[in-house]
Amino acid sequence: MQQRVIISQDIEHDLAQAIAETEHDRVFVLTDDITQECCLPKVAVLFAKHNATTITIRHDDTNKTLATLADVWTALQRGGATRHSLLVNLGGGMVTDLGGFAAATFKRGINFINIPTTLLAMVDAAVGGKTGINFGGLKNEVGAFANARYVIVNTCFLDTLDTANLCSGYAEMLKHSLISNTQMWAEHVNFDILQPDLAELQRMVAASIAVKEHIVADDPHEHGIRKALNFGHTIGHALEEFSMQQPGGAVVSARLLPLARARTAPKNTLLHGYAVAFGLIGELYISARKAGFSTARLHQTARFIRENYGAVAFTCDDYPTLLNLMRHDKKNTSGTINFTLLHDIGDIRINQTATDEEIREALDFIREGY
């Protein structure tokens, strides 16, 4: 079943139509505690008309767990959900990932609709059919491919978002431009994400989603070109997992420290997009080292990221831990760390490898920029 992405100008109208066109005997709405307060009121009247049952979970990625998943299953069961019920996931990537997995597995699969409320979820998590939870200290270790019937994207929700989470989502947009075309990349590295024009951002969001949709349509289960969407994530996921495992977290520089402590992340834990942004720096470095990527474009992209995201705090003593985390990445085969690299913007090289020494050099470049 293919999902339909709606770039919405009228959230109530488009959601009402999506629900009407999706089989349902009962409607359930999954939110987290922040989304319930900030975003649910924008569509609460419509859900009341459907006598929808709201299921609320705790926010942030540390709660994307088997225990939380079981809580959602339990709430569906107690609410009388059947194989013909509908789950609407209203929230960021944590909600759409976990809610999609709950829907894909409850009674062997019920229909679901994603309404992403963060920029990250709009351009990444809610689109493409990947669902899952964290497990054993690793990101998205357990999950399934399952398409939402509809993904309704409306930037009206972004006025509830703090700057850090806008930056977090924008990192995935920057990734899409790097694997797409030079014009989009140039537009992205010249956009003022710290004081964004939301009308202009909606146009850019639609274009970014189109990049991902095109790739996913060609390779829905990640056997080939869909691996391009992993660019920046081999190193990025390792940095994110590292920050979650440290007692004090892994923080960005003092200049941007308030951004790292956004309300939707545990104190001092890197937001996903921040980790991806730093991962992009590292994997562009490896691309320049091994695949001929332009050093000028490497430095221009790295400069944009450092100016807007700061610098992540880790030392060379942490390299063995980070390398070990990379070896547990799902993309690997036979213990070999797998990368997507770029020869040029839009010129993608999947299934690439790098030596431990090359990865250490990339980590040096992330830390110190030499």
- CA atoms of 168 and 79, how far apart (whole Å): 35
Per-residue confidence (pLDDT) for residue 291, from 0 to 100:
97
Per-residue confidence (pLDDT) for residue 319, from 0 to 100:
97
Per-residue confidence (pLDDT) for residue 281, from 0 to 100:
98
Helices (H) and strands (E) in the chain, counts: 15, 10
Per-residue confidence (pLDDT) for residue 32, from 0 to 100:
97
Per-residue confidence (pLDDT) for residue 267, from 0 to 100:
52
Per-residue confidence (pLDDT) for residue 131, from 0 to 100:
96
Per-residue confidence (pLDDT) for residue 370, from 0 to 100:
56
Nearest to 35 by CA among 114, 106, 117: 117
Positions of the chain with pLDDT lower than 50, given as ranges: 250-251, 253-266
Q: Which residues pair with 352 in a beta bridge?
A: 339
pTM of the model: 0.88
Burial group, residue 100, by CB count within 10 angstroms (0-12, 13-18, 19+): buried
Per-residue confidence (pLDDT) for residue 247, from 0 to 100:
67
Question: 283 in helix, strand or coil?
Answer: helix
